[in-house]
């Protein structure tokens, strides 16, 4: 089988130049909406959003690779790195390193991509690892770099990357192209086009022993962020993780050809979905702030505790709505007290009720 990097036209990717025109327009329009929405957030809410997006990106990006990170620990570590208020919970080396990478990506989004910056990211991401030959450098092993599945005696090879000795020159081409096509470069490209090509190109080279997926998605985030000329993030990894099976399928298809129009279109849809999710998170934070301002000092301690717990669930809220049993579990109230508290919240207009008796469910009246 001839992989894309083995073909004579590598790395000259071909696609219909107008295939992303509508997506690029929607992305720029959506970016303007996000910038405008963020102006409605106070400093505290803005900081909360930044930490939430950054932590979710790395937790979800790691989850794609099968690594489970504690969300609260990553959030705490990111907040400390950014100088925001945070608890002092301990993080594992993997969680601390992941947080450090996201902060570096956020703070130095405009910096050119270099071998050294990638080595720094890899060192952060592999924090605490002792099983790799090279950390903070490209792979050097002689054996083939393969993505495989199935039994050891009969593995299925999904992809084979260029040999280790070719990695430095392959990465030199990618890095030169990435910086040349930046908004400030000599040949700037539209945001999604650049991010899609950069991610596919990097994943094809697979330059590190481990961490290629997470670093590749960070590069895509960097490309999108540079186009907006501001330190912002989209929910890219979270959206990819939702479509994980399709993600690997599209990468696999694109690894066999340099005609990548299908990959470009699929990736553009993911970016737009991620941007939509980001806007939803911002809108929820705005509604949450207004909701808390509206009811501050008007509720008893039990009601406040339950409301805060509901808000902590995010825009989706409790699965199926809050029940009286949920309320009792959260507040420790008796059945009679829970019934009175919930009825009061409904009459005030803080909660909306559907159903009756034991089937009654409650949701927040946001907006």
Residues annotated in a binding site:
210-217
Instruction: Give the CA distances from residue 205 to residues 60, 162, 214, 293, 341, in Å, rounded to whole numbers and listed in that order.
Output: 23, 6, 14, 51, 60
Phi/psi at 191 (5° precision): -60, -55
Nearest CA to 321 out of 365, 362, 364, 366 is that of 362
Helix (H, G, I), strand (E, B) or coil at 132: coil
Burial readout 348-366 (b: 16 or more C-beta within 10 A, e: otherwise): eebbeeeeeeeebbbebbb
Report the C-alpha gap between 72 and 69 in whole angstroms: 9
Report the C-alpha gap between 170 and 228 in whole angstroms: 28
Report the C-alpha gap between 286 and 304 in whole angstroms: 18
Angle at CA 109, nearest 5°, toward 103 and 113?
A: 110
Give me 280's structure tokens: 């939803």
Q: Which residues are annotated as a binding site for ATP?
A: 210-217
CB 178 within 8 A of CB 200: no
Q: What does the DSSP 8-state code read for residue 112?
A: P
Name the H helices within the chain.
21-38, 43-64, 71-82, 93-107, 115-125, 167-180, 191-205, 212-228, 236-242, 244-254, 261-295, 301-312, 324-331, 335-348
Identify whether 199 is a catalytic site residue: no
Check 40, 199, 206, 243 and give the catalytic one.
206
Q: What does the DSSP 8-state code read for residue 259?
A: B
Q: Please identify every residue annotated as catalytic.
A: 206
């Amino acid at each position: 089988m001839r992989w894309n990097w083995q073909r004579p036209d590598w790395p000259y990717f071909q696609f219909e130049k107008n295939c992303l025109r509508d997506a690029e327009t929607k992305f720029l329009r959506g970016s303007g909406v996000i910038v405008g929405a963020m102006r409605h957030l106070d400093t505290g809410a803005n900081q909360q959003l930044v930490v939430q997006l950054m932590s979710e990106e790395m937790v979800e990006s790691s989850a794609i690779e099968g690594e489970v990170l504690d969300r609260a620990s990553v959030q705490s570590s990111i907040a400390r790195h950014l100088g925001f208020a945070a608890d002092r919970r301990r993080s594992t080396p993997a969680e601390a390193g992941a947080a450090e990478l996201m902060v570096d990506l956020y703070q130095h989004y405009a910096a050119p991509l270099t071998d050294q910056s990638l080595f720094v990211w890899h060192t952060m991401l592999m924090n605490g690892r002792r099983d790799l030959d090279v950390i903070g450098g490209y792979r050097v092993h002689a054996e083939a770099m393969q993505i495989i599945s199935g039994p050891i005696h009969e593995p299925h090879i999904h992809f084979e990357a260029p040999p280790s000795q070719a990695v430095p020159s392959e990465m030199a081409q990618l890095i030169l192209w990435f910086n040349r096509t930046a908004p400030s470069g000599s040949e700037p490209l539209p945001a999604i086009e650049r991010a899609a090509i950069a991610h596919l190109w990097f994943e094809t080279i697979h330059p590190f022993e481990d961490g290629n997926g997470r670093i590749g998605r960070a590069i895509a985030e960097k490309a999108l962020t540079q186009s907006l000329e501001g330190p912002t993030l989209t929910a890219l990894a979270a959206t990819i993780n939702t479509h994980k099976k399709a993600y690997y399928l599209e990468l696999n298809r694109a690894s066999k050809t340099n005609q990548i129009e299908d990959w470009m279109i699929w990736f553009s849809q993911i970016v737009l979905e991620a941007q939509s999710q980001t806007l939803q998170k911002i809108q929820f934070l705005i509604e949450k702030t207004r909701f808390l301002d509206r009811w501050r000092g008007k509720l008893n301690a039990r009601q406040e505790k339950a409301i805060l717990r509901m808000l902590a669930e995010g825009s989706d809220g409790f699965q199926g709505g809050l029940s009286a049993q949920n309320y009792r579990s959260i507040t420790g109230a008796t059945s009679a007290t829970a019934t009175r508290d919930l009825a009061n919240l409904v009459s005030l207009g803080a909660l909306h009720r559907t159903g009756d008796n034991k089937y009654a469910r409650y949701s927040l009246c946001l907006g």
